Structure 1
């Protein structure tokens, strides 16, 4: 298993059950893993939405939420928060593991 897949799995572990995406979202979590490595605990909902948008663009280019984060309704914006928290939690774990 690659280090990115390991990070993706760690992020998945921190997501609450009700926020889990479809089982075929491996590509999304790989993007989240890169985001975690790039931004760490500073990751934002805007970052998460952009990562989701990249993944969704390849699957459903007509999805209604493929707009900039600030154009989403507040309800839709809040849907990114569990992923933000999961990425931040995974980043904290990875930071503690580094010498």
Structure 2
């Protein structure tokens, strides 16, 4: 049996474009994305996505060079958040 957040997380995963690599062991990350979807819907930003990823990365790994505010990331690194933000917005549009 899945709960509502797990269902939201599954919907977001289904909206990830083909060819985008999803991190291993990312169930918790997608639960955080589900909370973002419920809180912000299609207004979620890539900065929000990065903050969610940073929380997950802090919990799972503890250290990573991209654990800085979104605005301090190189543009190429910022772009890595776009497919996930787009997936959250697309899942919000399904409601």
Superposition TM-score, scaled by structure 2 size = 0.95
CA distance in 1, matches of 2:42, 2:11: 14
8 Å CA contact 2:50–2:70 kept in 1: the answer is yes
Which residue pairs with 1:43 in the alignment? 44
Once superposed, which parts of structure 1, at least 4 consecutive aligned residues long, lie more than 2 Å away? none
Q: Which range moves more in the overlay, 10-19 or 70-79?
A: 10-19
Q: Which runs of 5+ in 2 are unaligned?
A: none
Offset of 1:6 from its aligned partner?
Answer: 0.4
8 Å CA contact 2:57–2:63 kept in 1: the answer is no
Offset of 1:23 from its aligned partner?
Answer: 3.8
Q: How many residues align?
A: 94
Q: Which runs of 5+ in 1 are unaligned?
A: 95-99
Offset of 1:54 from its aligned partner?
Answer: 0.4
Offset of 1:11 from its aligned partner?
Answer: 0.2
1:5 aligns with 2:6: yes
- RMSD of Structure 2 on Structure 1 (CA): 0.9
Offset of 1:17 from its aligned partner?
Answer: 2.8
CA distance in 1, matches of 2:15, 2:31: 15
